[in-house]
Amino acid sequence: EMPLMTIMITVFGVLFAFHCLADYSLQTDYLADNKSNNNYILLCHVAIYALTLTFGFWFVSQYTGNISLFWNNFDFIFWCLFITHLVIDYTTCRSKAKFKQLVEVHNNYTEGQVARIRPSDRDWHNRIICKSKETLFDILLLDQIAHMFIIITMVILIVLKK
């Protein structure tokens, strides 16, 4: 029998692949662009994500040889993934949208408009835009860390329940 740590690392790796599939490959540009301002689109993305990851947990149950553990926890797995992904993406998408607007306003400035910004304000203006771009990256990073935390927690709960 394999050591518990080997099983957990393998299970996490497989679920990470399913996470990437669900959160990137299966998310169309339309879903990605509109989930920050349309709750129906966000719910569609979350449902696709939760179903894909639930399938990932089924796949993992095949690997670990404990199908009954999956079916006994199916509703917990799906709803935990659904609700946590909804909360995380709702929060990060709404935050990201605000900073994207700042960057877009700046990107739409003509050279003449930028030139008309008083020299004393240009440095301030450029720092705000740079900070907004950094903040967008930070929000994306926090989003992914939160998703990984949920997956790791679920792996630990389910594998240890075995």
pLDDT in tens, 20-62: 999 999 999 999 989 988 999 999 999 999 999 999 999 988 8
Please give the structure tokens belonging to residue 156: 């630990």
pTM higher than 0.85 for the full model?
no
Please give the structure tokens belonging to residue 162: 């075995």
Indicate whether 14 pLDDT > 80: yes
Please give the structure tokens belonging to residue 12: 């996490």
H helices present in 73-118, as ranges: 74-107, 111-116
Q: What's the CA gap between 54 and 57, in Å, rounded?
A: 5
The pLDDT score that the predictor gives to residue 127 is: 66
Q: What's the CA gap between 58 and 120, in Å, rounded?
A: 60
